[in-house]
Amino acid sequence: MQKERFNFVVDEKTRKEFDKIMEALGLDNKNKAFIVLVKTYMRKHFESELYRKITNDIRAYEVLWKKIKSENKDQ
């Protein structure tokens, strides 16, 4: 089922850091560890973008609400 195989050439420091990540995840398969790492990054990135969107929407509604309140006071 595997069509193409890629080998990443990394320096010793990067390899050691990845080994630490694998150990923390409790995995001994580099492919599985890499997939978990990418999935986690994608999920965190999505959550971060969603949080930014929600906070921007909240700010926009707060500005709109203050504007409506000030217009109502003027009348």
For 6-34, what is each residue's pLDDT tens digit? 777 788 999 999 999 999 999 999 889 99
Q: What is the DSSP letter of 26?
A: T
pLDDT at 5: 72
Q: What gap in Å lies between CA 48 and CA 42, rounded to an integer?
A: 10
> Amino acid letter at 38?
V
pLDDT at 71: 85
Per-residue model confidence as pLDDT tens digits over 52-63: 999 999 999 999
5 or 11, which is more confident?
11
pLDDT at 42: 97
pLDDT at 41: 96
pLDDT higher than 60, residue 1: no
The answer to whether 21 touches 33, Cβ cutoff 8 Å, is: yes
